[in-house]
């Protein structure tokens, strides 16, 4: 018999950095899940992406056990990485204008297709390109569509 | 328990403002995020709070849908209290029992460790703790000097002292773990030298046994410190990594003059035992 699902929790947590503080602590703690068990597993599984924001979907079962899936970073995080922009100061993010290539947009679009609810790579690319422009990134090269 | 700050942003439309905010706030040391029906919640410890940068961020992205935000302090508390109020005790082999103060004592067991975890890691429920305890039970620690790096609840150091270790030092980078190890040492009537810090807190000292249940990257990074802090013939017990990572950990240990001795595994998690050769 399938285990009874008592909760689905969607968060975005930096790789290797889950700790029992909010939002992980209250979200899991309220369901009686052993938070430290989740943190140990999440951090071990994401250690190669330490510091990178990763969406995680946690399923909690009636016996207080859980499992979780880790997705790839949001498109905006991937775009920032592709453009090699690193902020972290009070300086305006958009003053640090960078650029990405259409190939990079395509790679990110393919990676995020299922999360973007897009049926074709082209429509996913358009969404990612829109995000890039909203971030102040230029897209270099010939538009492929 | 640390206070946290939650910034709740109102967004319209939700995307791409939500993910762009995440990418910007992540660079400002925000740790975690939660999408809501009307926007985004972003979390940071009060000590790291960046109020002016957040305000700047919200202004900058007003044109893509950031409508405003409110800031709320979330007082620190034991978020794991529900689980901690009612969990089973754990056996590691025949020799070691880890239980909470609310469990009945078991006079029949060789080593009984009482742990009140208060949001620290190490209650015996995770395979890595059990694997380390099994190795510890197989190791003669009587009269030995031991160190527990990344001690969490202090369960390993306490078990070692209860099994006859002469002196124990336990270190952890988290304040709550340092406090909790002190509390648990008192619960078990043992003396442990507890200090806040990582491997650097044991560097320059000498031990006969070092226990470290952390993660692969930290263990490999600090392997030379563990090796230098061990007396010749001393034992290093490691865990916190998957069985698929054991080759990398073994190679790192080998590079630091540590001879592989044994491996244990459970549920895909591994624990390795090494001996300092020279």
- What DSSP string runs through B175-213? HHHHHHHHHHHHHTT---EEEE-SGGGTTT--EEEEEEE
**For residue A73, what is the DSSP state?**
P
Give the C-alpha separation, B123 to B130, whole Å.
Answer: 9
Position A1 scores a pLDDT of 58
> Are A22 and B216 within 8 A, CB to CB?
no
Task: For chain A, state the CA radius of gyration.
Answer: 18
CB pair distance less than 8 Å for A93 and B217: no
| Interface contact A47-B217, CB threshold 8 A | yes
Whose tokens are 């009307």? That residue is B38
Predicted pLDDT of residue B1: 85
Residues of B in contact with A20 (CB under 8 A): 79-80, 119
Closest chain A residue by Cα to residue B176: A20
The string of DSSP letters for B43-105 reads: EEEGGG--HHHHHHHHHHTGGGTEEEEEEEEE----TTHHHHTS---EEETTTEEEE-TTSPP
pLDDT, tens digit, for every residue of A21-78?
A: 999 999 999 999 999 999 999 999 999 999 999 999 999 999 999 999 999 999 999 9
SS3 (DSSP) at B109: coil
ipTM (interface predicted TM): 0.93
What's the confidence (pLDDT) of residue A97?
66
Quote the minimal CA–CA distance from B265 to chain A in Å: 15
Quick one: B25 exposed, middle or buried, by C-beta within 10 A (0-12, 13-18, 19+)?
buried
Of A34, A40, A130, the CB nearest to B83: A34
Residue A4: which pLDDT band, with cuts at 50, 70 and 90? Answer: very high
Contact A44 B242 (CB under 8 A): yes
Secondary structure class of A91 (helix, strand, coil): coil
Q: Residue B152 has what pLDDT?
A: 98
Which residue, among A59, A8, A26, A21, has the nearest Cα to B83 in the 3D structure?
A: A26
N residues, chain B: 278
Burial-class residue B133 by CB neighbours within 10 Å (0-12, 13-18, 19+): buried
Q: Work out the minimum CA distance from A142 to partner chain B, whole angstroms.
A: 23
| pLDDT for residue A90 is more than 50 | no
- Closest residue of B to A35, CA-based? B80
> CB A74 to CB B83 under 8 A?
no
Task: Please state, in angstroms and rounded to a whole number, the distance separating the CA atoms of residues A78 and A107.
Answer: 10
A12 contacts in B (CB within 8 Å)? 22, 32-35
From residue B278, how far is each of B88, B227, B229, B238, B254 by CA, in Å?
Answer: 43, 9, 12, 19, 11
Contact yes or no for B43 and A21 at CB 8 A: yes
Of B17, B26, B60, the CB nearest to A92: B60
Mean pLDDT of chain A: 90
Consecutive 10-residue averages of pLDDT for chain B (278 residues): 96 95 94 96 97 94 95 97 95 97 95 97 97 97 98 98 98 97 98 98 97 97 98 98 98 98 98 94
pLDDT bracket for residue A88 (50, 70, 90):
very low
**B33 with A10: Cβ contact below 8 A:** no
Contact criterion met (CB below 8 Å) for B174 and B194: no
User: A-chain residues within 8 Å CB-CB of B87?
Assistant: 34
- Which of B22, B81, B87 lies at the smallest CB-CB distance from A12? B22
Q: Please check whether residue B149 is in contact with residue B177, taking contact to mean a CB–CB distance below 8 angstroms.
A: no
- Whether chain B has a CB inside 8 Å of the CB on A118: the answer is no
Give the integer Cα–Cα distance in Å for B149 and B199.
6
pLDDT category, A91, cuts 50, 70, 90? very low
**Tokens 């320059």 sit at which residue?**
B204
pLDDT at A143 (0 to 100) = 86
pLDDT value of residue B182: 98
pLDDT given at position A87: 54
Chain A residues touching B215 at Cβ < 8 A: 16, 43-44, 47
The per-residue pLDDT for B5 is 98
Closest Cα partner for B174 from A20, A74, A98, A106?
Answer: A20
Beta carbons of B4 and A34 less than 8 Å apart: no
Tokens for A88? Answer: 């972290």
Comparison of pLDDT for A41 and A119, the residue scoring more: A41
| Residue B60 backbone zone (phi > 0: left; psi -120 to 50: alpha; other: beta) | alpha
Of how many residues is chain A composed? Answer: 145
Task: For chain A, report the end-to-end CA distance as a whole number of angstroms.
Answer: 49
Residue A40 touches partner B, C-beta closer than 8 Å: yes
Q: For residue A102, what are its two tokens?
A: 């259409």
- What domains appear along chain B, each with residue ranges and CATH number? 4-74 (3.30.70), 89-276 (3.40.50.150)
Nearest to A22 among B4, B16, B119 (CB): B4
SS3 B225: helix
Q: How far is A134 from chain B (nearest CA, A)?
A: 7
SS3 content of chain B, % helix, strand, coil (to 5): 35, 35, 35
């Amino acid at each position: 018999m399938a285990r009874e699902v008592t909760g689905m929790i969607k968060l975005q947590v930096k790789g290797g950095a889950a700790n029992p503080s909010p939002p992980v602590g209250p979200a899991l703690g309220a369901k009686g899940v052993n938070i430290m068990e989740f943190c140990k597993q999440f951090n071990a599984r994401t250690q190669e992406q330490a510091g990178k924001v990763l969406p995680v979907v946690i399923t909690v079962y009636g016996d207080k056990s859980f499992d979780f899936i880790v997705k790839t970073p949001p498109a905006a995080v991937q775009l920032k990485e592709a453009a090699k922009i690193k902020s972290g100061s009070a300086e305006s993010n958009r003053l640090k204008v960078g650029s990405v290539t259409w190939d990079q947009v395509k790679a990110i679009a393919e990676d995020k297709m299922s999360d973007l609810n897009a049926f074709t790579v082209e429509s996913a690319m358009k969404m990612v390109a829109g995000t890039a422009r909203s971030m102040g990134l230029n897209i270099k090269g010939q538009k492929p569509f | 328990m640390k206070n946290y700050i939650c910034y709740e942003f109102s967004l319209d439309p939700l995307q791409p403002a939500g993910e762009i905010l995440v990418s910007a706030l992540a660079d400002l040391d925000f740790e975690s995020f939660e999408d809501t029906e009307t926007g985004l919640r972003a979390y940071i410890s009060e000590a790291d709070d960046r109020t002016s940068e957040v305000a700047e961020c919200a202004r900058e992205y007003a044109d893509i849908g950031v409508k405003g935000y409110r800031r709320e302090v979330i007082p620190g508390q034991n978020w794991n209290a529900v689980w901690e109020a009612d969990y089973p005790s754990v056996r590691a082999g025949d020799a070691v029992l880890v239980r909470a103060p609310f469990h009945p004592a078991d006079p029949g067991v060789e080593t009984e460790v009482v742990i009140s975890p208060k949001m620290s890691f190490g209650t015996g429920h995770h395979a890595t703790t059990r694997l380390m305890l099994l190795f510890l039970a197989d190791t003669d620690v009587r009269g030995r000097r031991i160190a527990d790096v990344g001690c969490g609840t202090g369960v390993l150091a306490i078990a070692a002292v209860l099994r006859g270790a002469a002196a124990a030092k336990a270190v952890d980078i988290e304040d709550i773990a340092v406090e909790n190890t002190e509390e648990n040492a008192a619960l078990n009537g043992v003396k442990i030298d507890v200090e806040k810090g990582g491997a650097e807190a044991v560097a320059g000292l000498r031990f006969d046994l070092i226990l470290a249940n952390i993660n692969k990257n930290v263990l490999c990074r600090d392997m030379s410190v563990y090796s230098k802090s061990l007396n010749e013939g001393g034992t290093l017990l490691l865990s916190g990594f998957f069985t698929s990572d054991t080759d990398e950990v073994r190679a790192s240990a080998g590079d630091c003059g540590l001879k592989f001795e044994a491996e244990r595994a459970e549920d895909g998690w591994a624990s390795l035992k090494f001996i300092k050769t020279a």
